[in-house]
C-alpha cells in the first residue's frame, strides 16, 4: 500500500511538472511569435535603404565591483526578448540573407563561474526567432564594412545577397541609420552610447542620415498584443494581492517601511522581478508629497496612508494607488476628500473607450474636482487655476514596459491600449502660499484659510489600470477595492480575526 501511494504521488508530480513545461513552451512560443511580428512591423516602417542598430543596456555600477541587478533596455527586449547585456541587434529591411542579426558576447566559462550561464546562439534563436546570431566581437568589422558599402560574410566580388538596396542608397546619400536617441541628456548630461555612435557616423560618413527610431517604437508599443496584456494582467494581479495584504495589516503605529516590506514581500513571493518603480508608502503629511519614497515615518491614529505601488512581471509594470485610514475609519474630512476623488475617477473613467484620449479624460476629472473643491470651500473660482494647487498632476498615463509608458498623451484610444486613471487631492502646509503665488486675492485667501486648516495634511489618490476594449474598457485592478466602505471592511476583517484568536 505504501509503495502504491508513493507511486501515485510520483505520477501526480510528474503530471504537474509536464503541465508546467507545456505552459512554459506555449508562453515562449507566444513571445517568439510576438517578437517576429514586431520586427516585421518595424521593418515595414523603415525605408529599403536603411538599417537599425539597437544596443542593450549597459551594466550599471552600484559600488566598487558590485552592480545593480540587470534590467534590459525596453525597446531591445521588445524586439528580441533577450536579457543578455553587451548585446546588439541589427535590422536591415531589404537584406535577404542577413535581415536580422543578433550580436551576443561569446560565452566565457570563467565569467559563468561567477555570474551564471550566458546565452548561446541556439538558445538566443529559440527565444527571439532570430536565426543570425553572431559573436559581438564581429560587430565593429560588420558595421564598418556596411557603412563603406562592402558586403559582410559574403564573397567580396559576388552578389551581396540583399545589401544592394542599402548600398544603392549609400551612393545617393539617401542611406538611413536608425538609432534610439531618446531620452536626450541635454547639453550637460552624459551622452549615451547611441548618441556617441550617431556623432561618429555624422562625422565620418556625412552622406548617411541618422534618424531616431524612438517615435516609431513608441507608436508600436502603445497598442498591446494579447501576450503583452497577459503579462500586464499578471503584474496587476500580483500588485492587487500585495495591496490587499498591506491593507489588512495596517494599524496605528506601523512604520511606512513595514508596509513597504509587506508589499514587496508579496511581489517577491510571486516571483516578480521587482517593482516597476520605487514604492510610494506615505502617511499623514507625506501623503501630500506626490513621489515620496523615503518610507521612514511611523503612522498615527487618525491619519491616512497612501500606497502607490506596482509589481513588474517580465518587463511589464503595474501601477495602482489606494489611500486608507490608518485606524480603519475615515474622519468626516477625510471621507469628503476621498469621495470627491473617487467620484472624479469614476466620471473620468466613463470616457475610457475607443475614440477618446487622455486629455479628454483629464478634462472630465478636472470638471468634477473643481466643482467639488468649490463646494468644500478650498477654491473660490471655477474659472481660475486655483484647483491646480490641490490637483497638480495629470489624470493618468500609458502603462506597459515603462510605468509611464511611451506614447503621446493625445493619442486616440484604440483597443489594446492600457492606461491609468489617477485623480488626487493634496492639502499641504504650503497650499495657501501656493494659492497666493497663483494670483488668488487676499480676500479669497481669507475665505479659503479655515477650510485649508480643516483639511490640512489630507492627501488622497486613487489609481486603477484600464484596458481599452472594443466595447469600452476593462478595469484590470478591480480586485482591490476603492469603495471606502469595502476598504474599511477589509481592514476590519483582520481586526476581527485577531480578536477571535486568528492570524
Could you say which of 404, 409, 434, 449 is catalytic? 404
Residue-level length of the chain: 503
Could you say which of 221, 422, 428, 455 is catalytic? 422
Pair 346, 438 in one domain: yes
Higher-pLDDT residue of 113, 156: 113
The confidence score (pLDDT) of residue 155 equals 63
Which range has the worst mean pLDDT, 39-53, 174-188, 487-501? Answer: 487-501
Mean of the pLDDT values across residues 232-238?
A: 98
d(CA 112, CA 468): 44
Pair 235, 170 in one domain: no
d(CA 299, CA 333): 18
What CATH number did the domain enclosing 44 receive?
3.40.350.10
62 domain residue, yes or no:
yes
65 is a catalytic site residue: yes
Pair 472, 410 in one domain: yes
496 is a catalytic site residue: no
Given a contact cutoff of 8 angstroms between Cβ atoms, the answer to whether 345 and 331 are in contact is no
Q: What is the mean pLDDT of the chain?
A: 92
**For 286-328, what is each residue's pLDDT tens digit?**
999 999 999 999 999 999 999 999 999 999 999 999 999 999 9
Could you say which of 214, 297, 322, 397 is catalytic? 397
Ordered DSSP codes for 449-497 = HHHHHHTTT-EEE-BEEEEE-SSSEEETTTTS--SHHHHHHHHHHHHHH
Could you say which of 107, 202, 204, 291 is catalytic? 291
473 is a catalytic site residue: no
**Which of the four pLDDT bands, split at 50, 70 and 90, describes residue 160?**
low
Pair 158, 230 in one domain: no
460 domain residue, yes or no:
yes
Pair 130, 249 in one domain: no
Could you say which of 393, 409, 449, 454 is catalytic? 393
Pair 297, 357 in one domain: yes
Domain edge (last residue) among 191, 219, 247: 219
d(CA 41, CA 390): 43
- Torsion sign (Cα): 379, 380, 386, 388: positive
**Which of the four pLDDT bands, split at 50, 70 and 90, describes residue 12?**
very low
Residue with cell 486613471: 421
Pair 284, 261 in one domain: yes
d(CA 316, CA 402): 7
6 is a catalytic site residue: no
What CATH number did the domain enclosing 339 receive?
3.90.230.10
Tell me the β-bridge partners of 311: 275
| Domain housing 436 | 223-499
402 is a catalytic site residue: no
The confidence score (pLDDT) of residue 496 equals 59
Q: Would the pLDDT of 267 be above 90?
A: yes
Mean of the pLDDT values across residues 353-363?
A: 98
d(CA 326, CA 349): 27
Which range has the worst mean pLDDT, 157-161, 214-218, 405-409, 463-467? Answer: 157-161
Pair 263, 386 in one domain: yes
Ordered DSSP codes for 134-189 = EEGGGHHHHHHHHHTT--SSS-TTS--TT-HHHHHHHHTT--EEEE---S--TTTS
**Which of the four pLDDT bands, split at 50, 70 and 90, describes residue 493?**
confident
**For 360-375, what is each residue's pLDDT tens digit?**
999 999 999 999 999 9
The confidence score (pLDDT) of residue 490 equals 93
User: Strands 50-55, 88-91: parallel, antiparallel or unpaired by DSSP?
Assistant: antiparallel
Pair 126, 260 in one domain: no
Could you say which of 176, 319, 405, 464 is catalytic? 319
Domain count, the chain: 2
Mean of the pLDDT values across residues 379-391?
A: 97
Pair 215, 229 in one domain: no
307 domain residue, yes or no:
yes
The confidence score (pLDDT) of residue 419 equals 98
**For 396-416, what is each residue's pLDDT tens digit?**
999 999 999 999 889 999 999
Could you say which of 65, 69, 442, 471 is catalytic? 65
Could you say which of 77, 316, 426, 455 is catalytic? 426
163 is a catalytic site residue: no
397 is a catalytic site residue: yes
80 domain residue, yes or no:
yes
Domain edge (last residue) among 179, 202, 219: 219
- Per-residue DSSP letter, 287: G
Mean of the pLDDT values across residues 438-465?
A: 97
Could you say which of 176, 228, 303, 308 is catalytic? 308
Could you say which of 32, 214, 461, 494 is catalytic? 461
- At 436, phi and psi to the nearest 5? -65, -45
362 domain residue, yes or no:
yes
d(CA 311, CA 484): 24
Q: Would the pLDDT of 21 be above 60?
A: no
Pair 215, 311 in one domain: no
5 domain residue, yes or no:
no
Could you say which of 176, 258, 260, 463 is catalytic? 463
The confidence score (pLDDT) of residue 384 equals 95
131 is a catalytic site residue: no
The confidence score (pLDDT) of residue 5 equals 41
- The reported pTM is 0.92
Domain edge (last residue) among 219, 234, 261: 219
Q: Which residue from 120, 91, 85 is spatially nearest to 106, judged by alpha carbons?
A: 120
Rounded to 10 deg, the angle between the 484-499 and 332-349 helix axes is 130
426 domain residue, yes or no:
yes
8 domain residue, yes or no:
no
426 is a catalytic site residue: yes
Pair 238, 153 in one domain: no
The confidence score (pLDDT) of residue 457 equals 98
Amino acid at each position: 500500500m505504501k509503495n502504491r501511494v508513493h507511486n501515485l504521488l510520483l505520477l501526480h508530480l510528474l503530471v504537474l511538472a509536464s503541465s508546467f513545461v507545456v505552459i512554459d513552451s506555449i508562453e515562449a512560443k507566444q513571445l517568439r511569435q510576438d517578437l517576429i511580428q514586431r520586427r516585421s512591423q518595424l521593418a515595414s516602417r523603415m525605408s529599403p535603404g536603411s538599417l537599425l542598430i539597437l544596443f542593450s543596456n549597459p551594466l550599471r555600477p552600484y559600488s566598487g565591483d558590485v552592480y545593480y541587478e540587470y534590467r534590459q533596455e525596453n525597446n531591445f527586449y521588445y524586439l528580441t526578448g533577450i536579457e543578455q547585456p553587451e548585446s546588439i541587434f541589427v535590422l536591415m529591411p531589404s537584406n535577404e540573407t542577413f535581415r536580422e542579426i543578433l550580436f551576443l558576447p561569446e560565452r566565457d566559462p570563467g565569467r559563468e563561474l561567477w555570474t551564471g550561464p550566458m546565452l548561446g546562439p541556439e538558445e538566443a534563436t529559440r527565444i527571439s526567432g532570430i536565426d543570425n546570431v553572431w559573436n559581438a566581437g564581429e560587430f565593429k568589422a560588420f558595421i564598418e564594412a556596411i557603412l563603406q558599402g562592402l558586403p559582410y560574410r559574403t564573397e567580396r566580388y559576388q552578389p551581396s545577397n540583399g545589401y544592394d538596396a542599402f548600398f544603392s542608397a549609400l551612393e545617393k546619400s539617401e542611406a538611413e541609420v536608425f538609432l534610439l536617441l531618446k531620452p536626450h541628456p541635454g547639453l550637460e548630461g552624459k551622452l549615451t552610447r547611441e548618441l556617441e555612435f550617431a556623432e561618429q557616423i555624422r562625422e565620418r560618413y556625412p552622406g548617411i542620415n541618422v534618424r531616431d527610431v524612438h517615435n516609431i517604437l513608441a507608436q508600436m508599443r502603445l497598442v498591446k498584443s494579447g501576450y503583452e496584456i497577459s503579462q500586464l494582467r499578471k503584474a496587476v494581479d500580483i500588485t492587487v494581492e500585495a495591496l490587499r495584504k498591506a491593507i489588512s495589516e495596517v494599524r496605528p503605529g506601523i512604520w511606512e517601511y513595514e508596509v513597504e516590506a509587506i508589499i514587496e514581500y508579496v511581489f517577491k513571493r510571486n516571483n516578480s522581478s521587482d517593482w516597476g518603480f520605487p514604492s510610494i508608502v506615505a502617511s499623514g503629511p507625506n501623503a501630500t508629497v506626490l513621489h515620496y519614497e523615503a518610507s521612514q515615518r511611523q503612522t498615527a491614529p487618525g491619519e491616512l496612508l497612501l500606497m502607490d505601488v506596482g509589481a513588474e512581471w517580465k518587463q511589464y509594470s503595474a501601477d495602482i494607488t489606494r489611500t486608507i485610514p490608518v485606524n480603519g475609519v475615515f474622519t468626516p474630512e477625510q471621507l469628503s476628500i476621498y469621495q470627491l476623488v473617487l467620484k472624479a475617477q469614476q466620471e473620468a473613467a466613463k470616457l475610457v473607450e475607443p475614440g477618446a484620449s487622455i486629455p479628454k479624460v483629464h478634462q472630465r476629472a478636472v470638471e468634477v474636482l473643481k466643482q467639488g473643491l468649490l463646494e468644500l470651500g478650498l477654491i473660490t473660482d471655477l474659472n481660475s487655476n486655483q484647483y491646480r494647487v490641490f490637483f497638480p498632476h495629470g489624470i493618468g498615463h500609458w502603462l506597459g514596459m515603462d510605468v509611464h509608458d511611451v506614447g503621446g498623451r493625445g493619442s486616440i484610444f484604440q483597443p489594446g491600449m492600457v492606461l491609468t486613471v489617477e485623480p488626487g487631492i493634496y492639502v499641504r502646509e504650503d497650499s495657501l502660499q501656493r494659492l497666493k503665488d497663483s494670483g488668488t486675492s487676499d480676500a479669497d485667501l481669507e475665505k479659503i484659510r479655515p477650510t485649508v486648516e480643516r483639511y490640512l495634511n489630507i492627501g488622497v489618490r486613487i489609481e486603477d489600470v484600464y484596458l481599452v476594449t472594443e466595447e469600452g474598457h476593462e478595469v484590470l485592478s478591480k480586485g482591490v477595492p476603492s469603495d471606502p466602505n469595502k476598504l474599511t471592511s477589509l481592514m476590519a476583517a483582520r481586526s476581527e480575526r485577531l480578536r477571535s484568536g486568528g492570524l
